[in-house]
């Protein structure tokens, strides 16, 4: 165990500080496709009863009109977070007619590209900005990619915990390093450790080892045939996170090395401002219509498809990187988790407990800077795990040599175990984190217990990825429809939906200036730190 990890665990185990462990926050964003009862992509608009996709705080759309995104408030306990997520699902099901929510990360069998509708956010300038950005994504990556779903896990530690660590490191009096800068650097250090170890999450929670053949749209691939309509890799854990997902030549060389917030921001800002010849040849308009916001490597910074991001809640009219520059990192967003097709809300409490222990471990442990060669090794370990993580005898690269994935995974869990024990001690209820750790150890010893192996077994039994997705989607639909919300909860969501529709109406009625001017101002907005 590292000196820093030992020291910080001892600090948090002190009676005076243990309560800090219960003050962190976590929230979940769950993406899910709307489909009809035959498992086909819904062609209907975003249901008006769910509110405005532009302004609703908990129910919106992601890239495609049929790709719902449910956003929980940030809570101190994953159990509460999942209860909130469950309630959002129940409200949605009460207002979706005969449609269902697709149970998997990889999409259902998709129609031709021109029948996949891009998400619509109304006629306001900000609504059109969001829509045109998605037109650009369709142009750059194809519409099928806009139908991939995932789980985003948002995580933060209390500011008082960072203050405690700052004092412990003896730098509290250094005026040039305020708590904001120390906190930002600490989150960036957490991200570096995440890069080192996130292959473990792919092994434990990857749940997309197969996909429907039509998803590839004729692209070259190295997948094997499982059935007439299903492709797979026998030892894959998460094809969603492989090079079959959001990848293109423009982003291939974009690898921000998170050794400082400044370097991260500068890398993204360079990409947002650097022209890319193939996009320049397409232009920003076609037949008088906007087709993308810019011809640069990235239209906006959020186009960078990272497995984890440093984040800060943005203010009206503010860009994400501006918020980071001005006020520092507030939380991290983990983006690599597949939707769990065996869980109605897409993620289990057991997974959440492990995520809390894993991310806290990443925050507490030593985290040296990462050079380019090390970054390439971390990326290669991740890529190897998503494509062949369950292969017997699979090795990963560590310290210049090869180590069995199984051995390294067990060693990592041994290092995380004291963190899980401390969380249970603070939780003062049960050994929920230790139980989750035990479940993960069992998966390491027996790969057949992993979600990816279970999914493959079920697909083989049913004959296709589509049949498996349909079965799970129907089971989850019945689960939610059998137990509707209590009247008070239903009324609360109805009020939220109505308020969001009114907010969109006000925005559209008070808009000034042309969309062209709005885009120009957005693209040229100040990107430097104040």
Which domains does the chain possess?
23-157+183-391+450-523 (3.30.590.20)
Say yes or no to pLDDT of 454 above 90.
yes
The whole-model pTM stands at 0.96
pLDDT band at 258 (very low <50, low <70, confident <90, very high): confident
Tokens standing for 55?
């302004």
Own/partner pairs, 521-530, CB within 8 angstroms, 24+ separation: 522/129, 522/293, 522/319, 523/293, 523/294, 525/319, 525/322, 526/322, 527/269, 527/272, 527/319, 527/321, 527/322, 527/325, 528/325, 529/325, 529/326, 530/325, 530/326
Average pLDDT across the chain, whole number: 93
Q: So what's the pLDDT on residue 175?
A: 45
pLDDT band at 529 (very low <50, low <70, confident <90, very high): very low
Residue 59: strand, helix, or coil: strand
The residue among 167 and 318 whose pLDDT is bigger is 167
Say yes or no to pLDDT of 95 above 90.
yes
Query: CA nearest 321: which of 382, 370, 272?
Result: 272
Say yes or no to pLDDT of 145 above 50.
yes
Distance from first CA to last CA of the chain, Å, rounded? Answer: 40
Percent of the chain scored above 70 by pLDDT?
Answer: 95
Say yes or no to pLDDT of 428 above 80.
no
Say yes or no to pLDDT of 191 above 70.
yes
Q: Tens of pLDDT along 506-522?
A: 999 999 999 999 999 98
Say yes or no to pLDDT of 479 above 70.
yes
Q: What mean pLDDT comes out for the span 327-331?
A: 95
pLDDT band at 223 (very low <50, low <70, confident <90, very high): very high
Query: CA nearest 291: which of 410, 142, 134?
Result: 134
Say yes or no to pLDDT of 217 above 80.
yes
Cα 492 to chain centroid, rounded: 27
Q: So what's the pLDDT on residue 257?
A: 66
Tokens standing for 79?
């159990």
Percent of the chain scored above 90 by pLDDT?
Answer: 84
Q: What mean pLDDT comes out for the span 80-86?
A: 98
State how far the alpha carbon of 350 is from the alpha carbons of 83, 409, 434, 446, in Å.
14, 18, 10, 18
Q: What mean pLDDT comes out for the span 424-452?
A: 93
β pairing state of 67-71 and 25-35: antiparallel
pLDDT band at 317 (very low <50, low <70, confident <90, very high): confident
Say yes or no to pLDDT of 245 above 70.
no
Q: Are 200 and 389 in contact (CB under 8 A)?
A: no
Query: CA nearest 476: which of 367, 354, 346?
Result: 346
Q: So what's the pLDDT on residue 36?
A: 97
Worst-scoring range by mean pLDDT, 143-157, 233-247, 278-292, 389-403?
A: 233-247
Describe the crossing of helices 78-94 and 487-510 by its angle, rounded to 10 degrees. 80
Q: What mean pLDDT comes out for the span 499-503?
A: 98
Q: What mean pLDDT comes out for the span 353-370?
A: 97
- Determine how many CB atoms are found less than 10 A away from the CB of residue 23: 14
pLDDT band at 430 (very low <50, low <70, confident <90, very high): confident
Q: So what's the pLDDT on residue 34?
A: 98
Say yes or no to pLDDT of 172 above 70.
no
Q: Tens of pLDDT along 192-203?
A: 999 999 999 999
Q: So what's the pLDDT on residue 530?
A: 44
* Phi, psi dihedrals of residue 490, rounded to the nearest 5°: -60, -45
The DSSP call for residue 42 is: P
CA distance 43 to 66: 7
Q: What mean pLDDT comes out for the span 483-493?
A: 97
Say yes or no to pLDDT of 17 above 60.
yes
CA distance 397 to 417: 23
pLDDT band at 174 (very low <50, low <70, confident <90, very high): low
């Amino acid at each position: 165990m590292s000196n820093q990890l030992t020291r910080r665990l001892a600090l948090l185990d002190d009676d005076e500080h243990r309560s800090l462990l219960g003050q962190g926050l976590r929230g979940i964003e769950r993406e899910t496709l709307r489909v009809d009862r035959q498992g086909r992509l819904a062609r209907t608009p975003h249901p008006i009863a769910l509110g405005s996709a532009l302004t609703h705080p908990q129910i919106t759309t992601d890239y495609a009109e049929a790709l719902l995104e449910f956003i929980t408030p940030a809570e101190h306990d994953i159990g509460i977070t999942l209860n909130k997520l469950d309630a959002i699902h129940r409200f949605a099901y009460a207002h979706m007619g005969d449609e269902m929510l697709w149970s998997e990360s990889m999409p259902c069998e998709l129609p031709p590209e021109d029948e996949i509708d891009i998400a619509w956010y109304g006629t306001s300038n900000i609504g059109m900005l969001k829509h045109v950005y998605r037109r650009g994504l369709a142009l750059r990556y194809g519409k099928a990619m806009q139908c991939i779903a995932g789980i985003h896990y948002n995580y933060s530690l209390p500011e008082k915990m960072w203050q405690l660590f700052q004092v412990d490191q003896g730098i509290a009096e250094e005026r040039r390093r305020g708590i904001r800068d120390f906190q930002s650097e600490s989150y960036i250090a957490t991200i570096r450790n995440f890069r080192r170890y996130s292959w473990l999450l792919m092994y434990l929670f990857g749940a997309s080892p197969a996909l429907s053949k039509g998803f590839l749209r004729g692209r070259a691939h190295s997948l094997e045939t499982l059935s007439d309509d299903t492709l797979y890799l026998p030892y894959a854990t998460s094809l969603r996170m492989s090079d079959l997902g959001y990848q293109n030549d423009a982003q291939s060389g974009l690898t921000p090395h998170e050794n400082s917030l400044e370097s991260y921001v500068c890398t993204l800002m360079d990409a947002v401002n650097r022209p890319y010849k193939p996009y320049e040849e397409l232009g920003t308009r076609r037949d008088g219509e906007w087709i993308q916001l810019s011809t640069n490597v990235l239209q906006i910074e959020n186009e960078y498809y990272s497995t984890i991001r440093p984040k800060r809640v943005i203010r009206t009219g503010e860009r994400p990187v501006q918020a980071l520059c001005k006020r520092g990192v507030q939380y991290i967003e983990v983006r690599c988790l597949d939707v769990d097709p065996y869980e109605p809300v897409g993620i289990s409490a057991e997974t959440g407990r492990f995520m809390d222990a894993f991310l806290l471990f990443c925050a507490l442990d030593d985290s040296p800077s990462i050079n380019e060669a090390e970054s390439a090794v971390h990326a290669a370990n991740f890529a190897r795990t998503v494509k062949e993580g369950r292969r017997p005898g699979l090795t990963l690269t560590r310290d210049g040599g090869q180590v069995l994935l199984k051995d390294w995974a067990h060693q990592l869990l041994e290092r995380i175990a004291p963190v899980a024990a401390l969380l249970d001690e603070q939780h003062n209820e049960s050994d929920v984190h230790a139980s989750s750790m035990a479940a993960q150890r069992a998966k390491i010893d027996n790969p057949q217990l992993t979600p990816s192996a279970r999914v493959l077994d079920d697909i083989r039994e049913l004959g296709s990825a589509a049949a498996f997705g349909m079965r799970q989607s129907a089971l989850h639909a019945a689960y939610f429809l059998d137990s509707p919300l209590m009247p008070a909860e239903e009324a609360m969501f109805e009020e939220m939906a109505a308020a969001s529709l009114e907010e969109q109406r006000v925005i559209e009625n008070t808009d000034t200036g042309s969309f062209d001017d709005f885009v120009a101002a957005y693209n040229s907005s100040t990107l430097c730190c104040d």
